[in-house]
Copies of this chain bind each other. A is one copy, B any other.
């Protein structure tokens, strides 16, 4: 049985509350329960924090034992070299996910410090991107 964790970064605790035009009106917790049901044979856990340091701590904690990390680092994607270094430091493969199509938004959202250290990137598919990311980690 695979162990995969979804890590959400800053402001993603407001999913379903914040800017619904961009992010939809579903709370992540609701979606997460549905997703957990959907993916059989996976021990799926979830962590959210608005603190860059807490995300790094969590990556360190699971990054040598879990089978995969699905990471939506929110705005830290575009500014955090420290999270990028954390991804490079651990052995668990990380998949970067974005709910919205970041390339259709402000220019500063087009660049990811994290991507080059990740296995791959999935963006623009709404919450379904998390499912695709989990699947991509199961395949190989």
A136 close to B140 (CB less than 8 A): no
> In the assembled complex, how far is the CB of residue A110 from the closest CB belonging to chain B, in whole angstroms?
7
The 4 lowest CB-CB distance pairs between A and B, nearest first, are A120-B124, A51-B53, A103-B115, A18-B89
> Given A19-B88, A121-B123, does the pair A54, B53 have CB atoms closer than 8 Å?
yes
Taking CB as reference atom, which chain B residue is nearest A64? B17
User: A interface vs B, CB < 8 Å?
Assistant: 9-11, 13-14, 17-19, 49-54, 56-57, 60, 64, 74-76, 78-82, 84-86, 88-90, 101, 103-104, 108, 110-112, 115-125, 128-129, 132, 135-136, 139-140
B116 close to A13 (CB less than 8 A): no
Please give, as numbers and ranges, the residues of chain B lying within 8 Å of A74 by CB-CB distance: 82, 85
B104 close to A116 (CB less than 8 A): yes
Taking CB as reference atom, which chain B residue is nearest A131? B139
> In the assembled complex, how far is the CB of residue A140 from the closest CB belonging to chain B, in whole angstroms?
7
> Of the candidates B50, B101, B111, B118, which one forms a contact with A121 in the assembled complex, judged by CB atoms under 8 Å apart?
B101
A119 close to B101 (CB less than 8 A): yes
Given contacts A76-B81, A81-B108, A103-B118, 13 further A-B contacts (CB under 8 A): A9-B82, A11-B56, A18-B89, A53-B53, A74-B82, A75-B80, A79-B82, A101-B115, A104-B115, A125-B136, A125-B139, A128-B140, A132-B135
Please give, as numbers and ranges, the residues of chain B lying within 8 Å of A60 by CB-CB distance: 11, 13-14, 50
